[in-house]
Structure 1
Amino acid sequence: MEQPQDIRLSFSLSLPEQLRLAAVMMFQRKLFLIFGLGWPVIGVVLAIFALMSGLPAGAPMWRLVGFCFVFMPVLLAISAFGALAVARPMREPLDYVFDHAGIHVSTSAFQHTHGWNQIGRFKRVGGFLLFFFSPRHAHAIPLRALPGPQVEAALAAMAQAHGVGTHPH
C-alpha cells in the first residue's frame, strides 16, 4: 500500500477568523458551553422576574439583564484581541505539512510537529477543520485554505489511517 501524498497548506488567519475561532474553541468543552449559555438564561430569568414581580424594575435591573446578554460576546472579543496582541505567529502565514509522521507547522519564528499519536481527534466546525492535541487546543485549518473538498477528504483519511478519532460536525 502506498503512502498518501504530503498535504501542504499556507494561510494567515484574518481578524474575523480569529474571533470565530476563539468562539468555536471556547465551546469545545461542555463546562464552558454551560457557562456560556448560562449567562443569557440568567438574563431571561431576571427579565421575567422583573416583569412578573409587580415591583418597579429600575435601570439597575435592566442594566444587569443587558450585562447577562453581552458578557460572553465581550469575553470572546477580549480573548481574540488578547491573542492578537501576544501571538505574533497568528498574524503571519502559517505553513502546514501533513504527512505520515504527523502535523508540522512553521512560521518565520518557530517550527513544531505533533505526531499523529498526539492528535486525539479531528472535527469540522465553524468553518475550520480542527486537529485536537488537547481538549481545548487544536491546529485550526480554515476551510477556505483548502484547495477543494478532496483535500479535506484526504486530510480526514490520513488522520483516520493513523488512528485519530473523528467527531461529528
Structure 2
Amino acid sequence: MRISILQADITTREVDAIVNAANSSLLGGGGVDGAIHRAAGPELVAACRELREARLPHGLAVGAAVATAGFRLPARWVIHTVGPNRRAGQTNRALLVSCFSESLRLADSLRAASIAFPAVGGGVYGWAARQVAEAAHDAVTGFGASHPESALEVVEFVLFSAEMEDSFSAVFEQPR
C-alpha cells in the first residue's frame, strides 16, 4: 500500500472511496461531514435516510462503518464512520482505531483500490492530532499485515490543517 499525507479538500479527491467522519444519525453535520454532504448533493442524505430505515434504526455505532454511493463526488463511494467523541467522555482509543480499520475493511470488500481519510475524531470530537495519527497508523499497519491480498493500493490522509498534516507525517515517517 502506498500512503499519502496531504492538506487538501477531501471532497475533490479522485479516489474510489472517501471516508466521512459522520455522526451516528448519518444525516449530515458540521466539518468534513457537512462538506461531504454538500458536495455529494441531496442524494446522499436520501441514501443515508434509507440506511437508517432499513438497517440502522438507531444510527451507526461508534467505530463502525457503512458505505453509500458517492453521488456528485468524484469518489465512487462514501464510507461513513463515527468516531468516539472525546469531549463527551468517549475516550476508548480502540474505537478510534476501529473507525480506520472498519473503513479499510469495507473499502476492501468493495474492491476499492484507493481510499481517502480525514482525521476522524480530530475535529470537534476533541482527539489530539497525534492521537488520531497514531490510531490511523495502527489501523493501516494492522490491515496491511492481515490482508496481504487486498485490492487497496493507495491510502490517502487528506487533512484540514498544517498541524494535523505535520502530526500524521511525523507518525507515519518514524520507525515504530
Bigger proportion of residues as strand: 1
Q: Bigger relative contact order, structure 1 or 2, given CA contacts below 8 A and separation 6+? A: 2
Q: Same fold (TM over 0.5)?
A: no
TM-score, structure 2 length as denominator? 0.28
Bigger proportion of residues as helix: 1
TM-score, structure 1 length as denominator? 0.29
